[in-house]
Amino acid sequence: MSEMKKKQRFETKGRMLGYFLKGSLKWFVLSVLFTIAVTLMDMINPKIISFTVDSVIGDKPAELPAPVLNLIERIGGTGYLREHLGILAGTVVVLALIRAVFRYLWRVFNARGAETFVETTRNSAFEHLLALPAAWHSEHHTGDIIQRCTSDIETIKVFLSEQLASLFRIIPTLILAFTFMYRIHPGLMAYALIFVPLIVGYSLFFHKKIGSAFRKADEEEGKLSAIAQENLTGVRVVRAFGKEQYERTRFEEKNKTYTALWIHLMRLLASFWCSMDLLSGAQILTITSLGAVYAVHGELTAGNYIAFLTYNTMMIWPVRMLGRIIANLSKAGVAIDRLREIMNAEPEKDVENALKPDLTGDIVFDHVSYSFGDETAHVLNDISFTVKAGSTVGILGATGSGKSTLMYLLDRIYPLPEKDGTITIGGVDIQKMNASYLRDHIGIVLQEPYLFSRSLEDNIRIANRSAGRTEVRDAAGIAVLDEAIEHFEDGYDTFVGERGVTLSGGQKQRTAIAQMLIRKPPIMIFDDSLSAVDAETDAKIRAALAEKTGNSTVFLIAHRITTLMNADEIIVLDRGRLAEQGTHEELLAHNGIYRRIYDLQMAGREVEE
């Protein structure tokens, strides 16, 4: 998001593929060229065989292109070759070597193309995901997005690099094989050709049909897998209710259905393979016997007969593949569309010539309202207040009163619609600023901070990579995290695991505080961020913070009045409205919600007799 890109939409599948193919297209083109070269080379061997059998071993005149005939004449004619068969064998070996090199190049170029494509696509998808607004992320399931960015991309890659690429191999093979077969014997070629639409058509029909059976089997597998999953996550419930036998029956029944479905599917597949074998067997038999008849009638030489049969075998597999590739086209189309939906989602945008002003000024909320989705339910309602630069403001409010929303608006995680008021820093509307710049200068510590799967040290300096070891230690010290870190075997190198699971809630909060301190942002927000820390540590951290936050403007969201009472100003939110505002003393004197909370909390500390 560093440089907000010009919005681009992919109107069609082709547009998007074209975009992702930048950088990989040249490799694919090279790979196709070598595929065709390999196919051409494949076609030479049967020629050599028929030439050897007919003209070298036999005595028929050679049917070869003039330059080749000239060459043969120059080295001494077929008679010379007859005495020196090694020359022919040598030719085969040399051709084979060239072919092997071509084949190698084809595969490597293809892999380069495929992998470059995947790299470009994944990078673009990831970059786009990061640029999408938080609202988009809350509307979509993580699992679904991940699937689109991993297995759907994989499907597209396989389609491009294997299936589409093999078309470039299959089609020339078919054209060349049939041309050569036509040259040898047009009639026999016609018989060979009759079977092609049959085989392709049957294969296409079958693959279309089996698709739904596979989907069903997949669904059943999902269900079976879910039963196992539920049993494992609910192991306490299963055991505590003594339901092992019940679970066993449940699993075995589903397992049975699933297995039966697959056995059925396997039988379908087996019958398909075998009928294809029969069909191609019939084709080969037709060619072999008819060829023999033609040969006996003198229409075909022995060498040509062998060559014809070889060409025929060469094209059988490609023909069988063709139906499957066509059937897979639709699968790839679906995958491309699923990815396109993500790529076409609207990313966050800055206004043109976004500003990067000084952010140390006063912060003004001016008639700010906000609602999620539908207009009726306001999370925030007409809030106005000013925070003096460098001061500390405390925010108090019940769960759901809109405290966090207010902070997310300041950070532009939620965009504030124009008609719903303005937020300015030092007189500049935040909507006119560069979002990255703004966020870089606002630090937020959430109640449940998100840690990344890296070392503790890397987590602390993730937003300020230039920070050195000493700075990391200082920040950890202020957040009273250093003691805890010393208890870890690997100290600052402790790997926090996915989403920081190896740390306790309090440790995570303190890591997040250290993470923010190391950035020294001019605006700091603590969103109930010491809730999992005990009172003693809480006090210690606050004392250290008071010293260190220095010139920064601080927002302090908390439930405990003792945490808030020293703030320069305190704001009380009540169901989205600004209910009270003032210093601790003023609010106590005011005798409103704040006073009531204060009394309750003080009373909670008394022990009744």
Partner 1 sequence: MSETKTEEIKTLPGLGLPELLPYLKPYRKTLIIMVFLGLVASLVDSIMPLFNRYALNHFIGENTLDTLGIFIVLYIVSTVIKVLSDFISLTLAGRTEMSVNRDLRNASFNHLQTLSFSYFNQNSVGYIHARVMSDTGKIGELVAWRMMDIVWNLSYIIAVVIVMFRLNVRLALMFVIIIPIAAVLITYFGRKYMTYNRRIREINSRITGNFNEGITGIRSIKTMAIEDVIETDFRAETENMKRTSVRAMHYGAILSAAVTGIGSFCLALVLWQGGYLTKEMVMEIGTLSVFISYAVGIMDPIEMLTETISGIIAIQVNIERFTKLMKTESDVADRPEVIEKYGDTFAPKKENWEELKGDVEFRDVSFRYPDGKELVLEHFNLNVPHGTNVAIVGETGAGKSTLVNLVCRFYEPTTGTVLIDGRDARERSQLWLHSNIGYVLQTPHLFSGSIRDNLKYGNPDATDEQIMEALKLVNATGVVEKMDKGLDSDVGEGGDQLSVGEKQLLSFARALLADPRILILDEATSSVDTVTEKAIQKAIETVIQGRTSFVIAHRLSTIIDADMILVVKDGKIIEQGRHKDLMKQKGYYYSLYTRQFDEDAVNTANAE
| Subset of 102-161 contacting partner 1 (CB under 8 A) | 103-108, 110-112, 114-116, 118-119, 122-123, 126-127, 129-132, 134, 137, 142, 145-146, 149-150
Residue 605 touches partner 1, criterion: CB under 8 A: yes
- CB nearer to partner 1: pick between 329 and 589: 589
Closest separation in Å from C-beta 259 to partner 1: 4
Write the CA distances from 353 to 363, 419, 431, 456, integer angstroms.
22, 22, 12, 38
Residue 252 touches partner 1, criterion: CB under 8 A: yes
Select from 226, 334, 543, 589 the one that contacts partner 1 (CB under 8 A): 226
Residue 372 touches partner 1, criterion: CB under 8 A: no
CA distance 413 to 415: 6
Residue 582 touches partner 1, criterion: CB under 8 A: no
Residue 285 touches partner 1, criterion: CB under 8 A: yes
The residue behind tokens 């120059």 is 74
User: What is the dihedral angle through the alpha carbons of 475, 480, 484, 489, rounded to the nearest 10 degrees?
Assistant: 20
The SS3 call for residue 174 is helix
The residue behind tokens 């995901």 is 129
| Contacts to partner 1 from residues 505-524, by CB under 8 A | 505-506, 515, 519
The residue behind tokens 């007859």 is 82
CB 348 within 8 A of CB 133: yes
Here's the x/- map for partner 1, 45-64, by CB under 8 A: it reads as: x--xx--xx--xx-------
Closest separation in Å from C-beta 167 to partner 1: 19
Residue 171 touches partner 1, criterion: CB under 8 A: no
Select from 12, 259, 330, 384 the one that contacts partner 1 (CB under 8 A): 259
Beta bridge partners of 523: 442, 553
The SS3 call for residue 92 is helix
Structure tokens at 158: 């396989």
Closest separation in Å from C-beta 81 to partner 1: 9
| Contacts to partner 1 from residues 340-369, by CB under 8 A | none
Closest separation in Å from C-beta 192 to partner 1: 16
Residue 86 touches partner 1, criterion: CB under 8 A: yes
CA distance 534 to 506: 8
- CB nearer to partner 1: pick between 531 and 566: 531
| Angle at 317 (CA atoms; ends 312, 320), nearest 5 degrees | 115
Among the listed ranges 10-18, 171-179, 374-382, 526-534, the one in contact with partner 1 (CB under 8 A) is 526-534
CA distance 397 to 403: 7
CB 295 within 8 A of CB 306: no
CA distance 230 to 221: 14
Residue 190 touches partner 1, criterion: CB under 8 A: no
CA distance 567 to 396: 11
- CB nearer to partner 1: pick between 225 and 330: 225
Select from 37, 200, 309, 485 the one that contacts partner 1 (CB under 8 A): 309
| Contacts to partner 1 from residues 442-471, by CB under 8 A | 442-444, 446, 449-450, 452-453, 462-463, 465
